[in-house]
Chains A and B, each alone.
Chain A
Amino acid sequence: MIVPFGHVLMLAGVLFSLGMFCALARRNLIMIVLGIEIMLNAASIIFVSAALHWESLEGQAFVLFILAVAATEVSVGLAIIIYAFRRTGSFDPSTYNLLK
């Protein structure tokens, strides 16, 4: 008997909204990616606790894959950011508005 499942969900929800806030409100491309990582982390917590709740290992397997995908996406994302920085010289996302 650890804790009611709802509490874990709420913790994960808070973490998710913090990550969303970071992705939307920081004027730095790298912080956007950081926010995404926080959101992924929150999702992982939910998966693991859900696996415990339903007593199924499926949730944990999925967290494994989330980890892998997060790694992939961070590396490619950072490579793109460096590329974009070399092209425009700025990390501010509001300067990337050619698609308006």
Chain B
Amino acid sequence: MTLHGFIFYVLAAVTVAATVVAITRRNLVHAVVYLIFSYFGTAMLFYLFGAPLLAALEVIIYAGAIMVLFLFVVMMIKVEASEEVLFPRSQWLPAAIFGLIYAVVGCLMIAAAPGAEMSLKLLSATPREFALYVFQSHWFSVEVVSLLLLIALVAALYLGKGQGKEKSKAEGEV
């Protein structure tokens, strides 16, 4: 086992452990924080697999923006732990079954895939090369993604604002 292999296994273990803990927390804030740990692990994995820019982006966007957004929502709405039973049996049993089936099928498929035994090489893509590639080959997708972000902005504004309008209207009438 090489050094990089060892690093991979450690990171994998951390990620999985953090995810497992995250999904079994009753307190939502705890769940989000554990998930941030999971994303850190993922970012390190990205760096190991030769995508340093993506690793940075993962931390910035995913862990830094999205999870923080979650935290804002949770704290704003004051979501209480409303579930009495964390995992009602009628729900986790089918989910576990399908998870198991999926895991088994997945392992079988991986074992039968032709290139699965090959070890990954140690390469790295510098940000410069990566950016050149994206903007040369996939510039159209970039434009579309920006449009998508615009749409999300409008939607969030509308959904959030609509409440305010109704509230003021009701107050106005009374």
Tell me, yes or no, whether A and B come into direct contact in the complex with CB atoms closer than 8 A. Answer: yes
Interfacial residues, chain A to chain B (CB-CB below 8 A): 1-11, 13-22, 24-28, 30-31, 33-35, 37-38, 41, 44-45, 48-49, 51-53, 55, 57-58, 60-61, 63-65, 67-76, 78-83, 85-86, 90-92
* CB contact under 8 A between A72 and B42, given known A2-B119, A31-B23, A52-B123: no
| Chain A-chain B contacts (Cβ-Cβ < 8 Å), number | 243
Question: Which chain B residues lie closer than 8 Å to A30 at the CB level?
Answer: 28, 70, 73-74, 79
* CB contact under 8 A between A64 and B134, given known A15-B19, A25-B95, A79-B160: yes
Q: Is the interface of A mostly helix, strand, loop or mixed?
A: helix
Interfacial residues, chain B to chain A (CB-CB below 8 A): 2, 4-5, 8-9, 12, 15-16, 19-20, 22-23, 28, 31-32, 35, 38-39, 42, 45-46, 48-51, 53-54, 57-58, 61-62, 65-66, 69-70, 73-74, 76-77, 79, 82-83, 86-88, 91-92, 94-96, 98-99, 102-103, 106-107, 110-111, 113, 115-123, 125, 129-130, 133-134, 137-138, 141, 145, 148-149, 151-153, 155-156, 159-160, 162-163
Cβ contact within 8 Å between B156 and A75: yes
